[in-house]
Amino acid sequence: MPDFADTNDFLSKSTILRRASVNRQHFDPTDPEHLESLKTFIETGNWGKVQFFCEYPFTDVPMTVLVKFAGRALDARRMTAKEALAAKILSGESILNA
């Protein structure tokens, strides 16, 4: 087999293939490990031992994590689109764009 196709060396040096083994979780603002990883991100710009998934409706991980953290700190929760629609209907507000 040619030198350039040595898979053992390729797998150990490939940053893309190594990324798959990163511990990714959904951010939980009550988990001390998650908060430590957020603190590391704020101080250094790099995540700590735990990295996180981007969650809908956000477009990046930092926004996902920071909004969830702020919501917990302020004891506030983001209303889903279905909840917002239900609140409008229950309040008698028109749901049609007129």
Please indicate, yes or no, if residue 9 is contained in any of the structural domains. Answer: no
Identify the pLDDT of residue 44.
94
Please indicate, yes or no, if residue 1 is contained in any of the structural domains. Answer: no
Please indicate, yes or no, if residue 4 is contained in any of the structural domains. Answer: no
* Structural domain count of the chain: 1
- Confidence class for position 52, pLDDT limits 50, 70, 90: very high
Identify the pLDDT of residue 62.
92
**Residue 14: is its pLDDT beyond 60?**
no
| Selection from 28, 20, 71, 58 nearest residue 38 by Cα | 28
Please indicate, yes or no, if residue 37 is contained in any of the structural domains. Answer: yes
Q: What is the pTM of this model?
A: 0.59
Longest CA–CA span in the chain (Å) reads: 73
Q: Which residue segment(s) compose the domain that 60 sits in?
A: 23-91
Please indicate, yes or no, if residue 12 is contained in any of the structural domains. Answer: no
* The two three-digit tokens of residue 32, written as one number: 């001390």
Please indicate, yes or no, if residue 62 is contained in any of the structural domains. Answer: yes
Please indicate, yes or no, if residue 36 is contained in any of the structural domains. Answer: yes
Q: What is the mean pLDDT of residues 37-60?
A: 90
Please indicate, yes or no, if residue 8 is contained in any of the structural domains. Answer: no
